[in-house]
Structures are given as structure tokens and as C-alpha cells.
Structure 1
Amino acid sequence: MSSKIKFGTDGWRGIIADDFTFPNVRKVTRAIATYLETAYTKNRPVLIAYDTRFLADQFAQTAAQVLADLGWTVKITDRDCPTPVIAYNARHLNSAGALMFTASHNPAPYCGIKYIPDYAGPATPEITDTIVANIESASDELPGNNPSGSISIFDPKPDYLQFIYTLLDVEKIKSANLKVKYDALYSTSRGYLDEVLLHSGVQLESFHDWRDVLFGGGMPEPKGEELIELVEAVIRDQADLGLATDGDSDRFGIVDEQGTVLSPNYCAVSFSKSFN
């Protein structure tokens, strides 16, 4: 099975119960652990998070057990978690990096695992090449019953939201009296983006803000046909803005007051120009 395990920029993805299996997760986790031993000391925790996909939480727990068996202190999130949140905490908590179980905007049958280093950005090709090189010799065996490390549950949200609020002019947003529609697309952003919006005083209506491992039969990707309901709501209620995220909340979709879906690239360029 190791021949199927190939890392890209965002780690390894596969189809659940085909190549993305519990034995392969154990194998990849041990390959990551071998890299960690060359880059960090074991007094730094390894963080683990996961998205809303089928079995993602169980894959995450399996990885935690493997790492604890190898002597690492593991902190696993108390619920599914946005990728930017676990990335922030990887740096904030002075960790040895984080494992994120997600297939991002891919269809429901997929899951994935990415390694996020302690600097909170994507792993470099040098890091992923090292991990891939470790896979062939890594074991897929079950961990033992007497781990030398430990596993604990933590809530990554409070520190992350506190950081986010330092970047926002909350009072100015409140003064705008915005009417916003938010489509969570059954993703990890529920309980995060909506909480920030409510804290900022917007009039909010939310859609699909619960876990559905099949993503309502659609794709967890905030664009095109996946945002029809959001567009209709913005136009119907004359809202100022529509917002949506992908499965692990590191991609966004924006609908303007006329119901036009704006691409992330367009928004980023326009935002950049406004400061030049």
C-alpha cells in the first residue's frame, strides 16, 4: 500500500477505506514522527486536528495513539477544527507542529493528512520529501498498550479568536450595521466565523452549520453551484454580503450585495490595491 502514499503541497489524500485506511494512517504517522525526531525535542507537544469528514476524528485519534506510543506529548482538538486555527496554535503553543486530517475541498469519499510545521505555514518540499522517504520503512502495526507519551484534549478556539480580534476594527464593523448571510457548507468554520460575525455586531443568517459527512450531497467548495442558496438569500433579503468556506476553512467564497460570486483571487487583489 505504501506505493499509493504520495505527498503533495498539502500532504497525502486518498479515498476512505480504499487507500486511506487505518494501517496507512499509522504508517504515515510513524513516518512523520521519524522526521519530528530530527527536528524537535519531545518536550514540545504535537497537535492534532481534523475536519468534518467521515472517520476523520477516528483517524486523528489513531495518529495520536501512535505518537503517544513513541513518547510524544499529544494535544488533540476537542472538535473538528479549521486548518488556520490549528496552524496558529502550532506556533502559539511552541509545538513540534501539527497533523491535520482533512481533504479540504475534495468530495466526501476523500480524507487526507497534512503536516504543519511549528512556523504555521505549509511544509517545505524538503520536509515532505523526508517524510515520504520515511514511509517505506515505517510500520503500520498497532501501538502498544503502555505509551510513554500522553494524549490530552484542548480547545484551540479561545486563543485564536483573541488573536483575530486584534486584527479587526470590531467597533467600526458594528457601526456599519451589516446584514450578512453565511453558508458553512457543513464545514469546520461553524462556531468560528459565525461567532466572529456575531461578536462584530452583524445581523446574521446561517446555513448548513452542522456536521454532515456527505456535505449535503455536494462539494465542500465555496464557489459556483455550491453557493446557489447563499446567492438567493443575499438577493432576496438585500443583504450586504454572503460568506462561505470550504471543508477545512482555509478557502473562502464571497457574494456581493448584487449576488455576484467573487473569487478569492479577485478579493485578495482588490484588498491589496486598497492599501496601495
Structure 2
Amino acid sequence: MQWKQNLNHWLHHLPENDPLKIELENYQSDDKLMEDCFYKELEFGTGGMRGIMGPGTNRINLYTVRKAAYGLSQYIKDQGQEAMARGVAISYDTRHLSKEFALEVAKTVGAEGIQVYVFDKYRPTPLLSFAVRHLNTYAGVMITASHNPPEYNGLKMYGEDGAQLPPDAADVIIDYMNEVKTELLIEVAEVKQLEKDRLLTYIGKNEDIAYIHSLDSIKLNDSANNKDLSIVFTALHGTATETVQEAFLAFGFTKVKYVYEQCGPDPNFTTVKSPNPEEADAFTLAIQYGKGNNADIILATDPDADRLGVAVKDEKGEYVLLTGNQIGSIIIHYLLEQKLEAGTLPKNGVVMKTIVTTELARAITGTYGLETMDTLTGFKFIAEKIQEFEQTQDHTFLFGFEESYGFLIDGFVRDKDAVQAAVFIAEAAAYYKAQGKSLFDVLNDLFEEFGYYIEETHSITLEGKDGAEQIERIMESFWSNPPLHIGGIQVVEIEDYMTSIATELPSGMKSPIDLPKANVLKYKLEDDSWICIRPSGTEPKIKFYFGVKGKTAEIARNKLRKLKKLLLQGVHV
């Protein structure tokens, strides 16, 4: 078996005192675990890779990190001396071994004569994206596993525009990685030698200051109202606290309480089940703070601060979590309303969203005569469009978001930015509070005007080799037997992103989908409901996205409940 050969190769070549070798020797009797560690190479997607930490080719460890860094270094060398001199910016989050992995990237890339810039301390992902652009580096690397459990880590790679690498660049890096016969023998430089050769530079406060100054571009109102807004903030043991503190001060927010237990780094995320601001459990402590301080709004970022969760008071005074779709819709409403009033709303303005994000966005922008464009899931595709707009001048980027709590207001960052989103949604809350409204009131006003849009994501986790095969079988079943009716409601269009063809039903008329190929299926129903199915690119999950619209909240909720039940009852795992 190939996995056993790989295991023996690692056991033979790892140094005797290497913790990974000791771990392998302790678990050799567990064939299933060893097979999962070695049966394949850890997959490198278009943005990077993520996985459980541990020994093996299918795990995140210093050797697989070196292999990815080596691929990046060869890609940069292909671009010539200028690219090598511009170099790579590197940041990391608060997870186990994140700093160590960041230095391994620097040692591997630096060994090839490429300049490297490493943050002097953990930083949010958006700060890395910003630094790539601000320092004019040729690439960037962020060591993070976002909101995954503590046993995970990973890395994301960025191009010179500050966006995650596009597929073409990633393919070149993958080709170079595949040429590596063994990741265990990749040569790296020593940190002290890189420092001596001036190939390693540490960066810090200057980048933070420049980033905070850039936030001025997203202010729509002066800070007069901001001092009256009561905020509770939690970084969920991640990277955001210091940057968010500076951002709030710059915007004039002074009534801010920080969840003390969660604002410092903790790689075990001990106070939460999951450091994910999409989940209610992550807000438990913050809501206690909110009740104790009568907070108007509660904000939470994930460990690398690219996602933002928001809780506000409902009509009963109880804190409720807004969905990513709802947060994005409120931001669009406030953004367009204020720009129109100020006379700064461009006629060619465009809002970007992914194909699994709420259609309420399109309804709101439509009232302003503006366009909403869809991209595939993944913020790199939104960033690509921003770059395209800058070159063609055909459109002006106004806002980009995705249902999974990722938002971007201004393109000085080219990835999801929870810091931008935090101060912007807080400014909106302060503005509406001065009018006697909460964000919950604003959301209900939008529903009353446009209809009750409700969306939900259902994920099925299927880990390991067997899980990956199950996910493949589920996708194949939908390709071979697509539903034509769901609960008596006609499917009017099937969008197959693998073939890039949309098929209208029942006519059978086909039209091209002008987006990159992806392992995604989407079904549109005649009652404005929709379903999208895709395997996660970063987690061992298959995801089912549902969207409905109703005249009332009750009608919409009933439609969603029925749609989910009817579709998922046919999914066998």
C-alpha cells in the first residue's frame, strides 16, 4: 500500500528527536489513522491549504508548510529579479504553531534569495492583505485556519494585488510542489543568516498606523453620534483586539466594552465550543457583557479577523444574532442611502456577492438603479472583479460580501475584512440610533419593503478518506438525477458550474455561465426559492444552501422548513 510506503519513508528520514517522528511511532498501531495521515498529499486549493496538524503528507506540519512555501518561491523566481526583490509579506494568527510556521515560510522562501517581511506579532488577515499592497510585495502568506477547531492550521497565499491567488498562479505553485520528491529534505535558511543578509525584515506598527488611516475612506458620517453607541466586542481569542481598538478610537467610539476573557490569544479557544462568529455559542460571554452594559450592539470576529458576527436587540430587548446575509443587507442599505444623500453615489456603482448569498441585496441595489453581480464562492473572485473594475473603469466597486460573514467596504484590502465591517456597521448603528431606530428595526423595514428573505446553510461533515468519497457520491447523485420538482414546485433552472451551463426547464434551453468552473450545482424554483450544493473547499463538509422569499416572516420560514426537509431526505450518508 502506498500510504505504508510513505509512512516508512517519514519514519526513516525524520530526525530521531523530531516530535513528529515520536508521534508516528506512538500511533503506528492505528492503521486507520496512519492511512489518513499518508494516503494522499494535503490538498492545495486556489487560495492555499488547511488541515489537521500532525505528521504525514495529509497533515499540516513544518514539512508540508515548507513544501507549499517552496512552490511559492519557485513561482516568484520565474517572475524575475524584480519580483524576488519585492518579496513576500508573512503574517500569522494566534493558533498553535502559527508563528513557527510563519518563520518556516520565511526560511524556505528566503533560502531562494527572495526578500521576506514578517510581522513582529500576530495580525488579522486583512492586515496581511493590506501590507502586500502597502509594501508593494509580490506575494503574501497568512498562517491561519480561520474559525476551524484548535487542532487545525493552514496557510493562505496572496498575489501582488493583495487578493488570494487566482487559479492560474495556484496551478503553477502546485506543479512545483508536485516536483518535490520529498518534503522532508527541502533546504531552508537559518533566521539569523537571513537577518544578516538583510533578506528578512520584521514589520509592525507602521503597517498598523497606515491601515487605520486608510479606514478614513469608509466614514460616511462624522463621529458626533458614535460616542453615544454602546458596544461590546470580542475577538474570540484571536488577532483582532488591538486593531479594532485603534479603529474604534479613530471613529470616535468611546463606549466600548471588550470581553476580557476572550480578547487575548488562546490557541485552545477554551471559552467557546467553536471560535466561529456564525454560531450562537460563540456569543455566550459577549451577550452576558451586553446585558450588563445595556449594549446597543455586540460584535465578534473570528481568530484571523476576516469574519464578523453581529448581535442586536429585538423588539423584546433580547439579543439576537444577525445572519451574514442580514448584516450585508443592512450595510448595503446604509451605504447607498448615505452616498445618495451626499451626492457621492456613482451611476456605475456595483455591489458584489457570491452565488449563495441573499437576493435581498439585488432588490435593494435595484431601487438605486445599480447592479448586483454574482461570483463563485470565495472572496478571491470578488477581489478579481475589483481589480478588473480598476483597469476597465466600467464599474465602481461599492461593497462585496458573502453569506459566511465576510464583508469588504473599500478595496484597500482585497479580502474579507472584519475590522472595516465592525466600524462600519457600528457607524450605521449609531446613525440609526440617533433616529430612534435599532439595526433590528432597520432590518424589519427592509423586509417590509422588499419581502421576507430567509437563507440557511446546512452542512454535513464527512471526514477522512471515506468522507471524501461519500461527498463525491452525493454530488454525483445530484448530477445524474437532478430534481425537477421539489414539493410540487417546479425547478425552472439548473445551473451546473462544472460544465458552466445553465439549463432552463422545461424548455431545455441552455446558456453559458460566465464564471470559472466549480464543483457546484444550483437549482432555481418558480416561487423565487433556490438551492445550491457544493463541497467545502476548506473543510471536510458538503454544504446545502437554501434561500426563500415570502410576504411574511411566517410564510418564508414555512417555505424554508419544507424545502430543507424535502431536499435533505433524499441525501444518504
> Per the shorter chain, which TM-score range?
over 0.9
1:71 aligns with 2:117: no
* Cα pair 2:132 2:138 within 8 Å, conserved: yes
In 2: Cα distance, 1:241 partner to 1:101 partner: 30
Counterpart residue type for residue 91 of structure 2: A
Deviation, 1:129, is 2.0
Per-residue CA deviations over 1:241-268 (Å, capped at 9, x if unaligned) read: 1111011100000111341111222111
Percent identity of paired positions between Structure 1 and Structure 2: 25
CA distance in 2, matches of 1:2, 1:59: 23
Which residue of the other structure, out of 47, 70, 90, is the alignment partner of 1:30? 70
Structure 2 CA distance for aligned equivalents of residues 15 and 184 of structure 1 = 22
Per-residue deviation, 1:195? 2.2
Contact 2:212 2:246 in 1 (8 A): no
Matched, 1:7 2:44: yes
1:263 maps to which residue? 323
* Whole-angstrom CA distance in 1 between matches of 2:221 and 2:112: 44
Q: Quick check: 222-231 or 98-107, which moved more?
A: 222-231
How big is the shift at 1:237?
2.4
Residues 50-94 of structure 1 deviation map (CA, whole Å, 9 limit, x = unaligned): 000011000101110111111011100011111111101111111
Partner of residue 265, structure 2 = 211
Q: Distance in 2 between matches of 1:149 and 1:71?
A: 10
| Equivalence for 1:109 | 151
Instruction: Select 1:150's aligned residue among 165, 184, 199.
Output: 199
CA–CA distance in structure 2, aligned partners of residues 260 and 184 of structure 1: 18
Comparing 77-86 and 191-200, the one that deviates more: 191-200
Q: Does 2:259 correspond to 1:221?
A: no
After the TM superposition, which segments of 4 or more aligned residues of structure 1 sit over 4 Å from their partners? 144-149, 173-176
CA drift of 1:221 comes to 0.8
Following superposition, the deviation at residue 9 of structure 1 comes to: 4.3
- Aligned residue for 2:467? none
Distance in 2, Cα, partners of 1:175 & 1:181: 14
Instruction: Say if 2:47 and 2:170, in contact at 8 Å, map to a contact too.
Output: no
Q: How does 1:39-58 map to 2 (within 5 A)?
A: 39=79, 41-58=83-100
Deviation of 1:143 (Å): 1.4
> Does 2:237 match 1:197?
no
The gaps in structure 2 that reach 5 residues or longer are 1-37, 337-367, 369-573
Q: Does 1:273 align with 2:314?
A: no
Task: From the two aligned structures, give the one with the greater helix fraction.
Answer: 2
The Cα RMSD (Å) is 2.1
Distance in 1, matches of 2:189 and 2:165, equals: 29
- Alpha-carbon distance in 2 for matches of 1:97, 1:60: 14
Which structure ranks higher in relative contact order (CA pairs < 8 Å, sequence separation ≥ 6)? Answer: 1
Conserved 8 A contact 2:111-2:187: no
C-alpha contact (below 8 Å) 2:227/2:255 kept by paired residues: no
Provide the TM-score with structure 2 as the length reference: 0.46
CA deviation profile, 1:123-175 (whole Å, cap 9, x unmatched)? 11122222222212236324145656611110131111111133225742655
- Tell me the amino acid that sits aligned with residue 129 of structure 2: A
Q: Is the 8 A contact 1:82 1:188 kept in 2?
A: yes
CA separation of 1:197 and 1:170: change in aligned 2, threshold 3 A: farther
* Map 1:91-170 → 2, pairs under 5 A: 91-138=133-180, 140=183, 141-144=186-189, 150-155=199-204, 156-169=207-220
Separation in 2, partners of 1:3, 1:127: 22
Once the 2 structures are TM-superposed, how far is the Cα of residue 202 of structure 1 from its aligned partner?
2.6
Give the alignment partner of residue 237 of structure 2, picking from 186, 193, 201.
Answer: 186
Q: CA deviation at 1:14?
A: 1.4
CA distance in 1, matches of 2:89, 2:221: 30
Aligned partners of 2:164 and 2:44: how far apart in 1?
12
8 A Cα contact 1:71 1:149, kept in partner: no
* Bigger mean CA offset, 165-174 vs 66-75: 165-174
- Greater shift, 250-259 or 57-66, is seen at 250-259
Q: Is the Cα–Cα contact under 8 Å of residues 74 and 149 in structure 1 kept in the other structure?
A: no
Q: How many residues of Structure 1 are paired with residues of Structure 2 in the alignment?
A: 276
SS of 2:133's equivalent in the other structure is helix
CA shift, 1:42, in A, is 1.4
TM-score by length of 1: 0.92
Distance verdict in 2 for CA 1:175–1:83, change over 3 Å: closer
Q: What is residue 128 of structure 2 aligned with on the other side?
A: 86
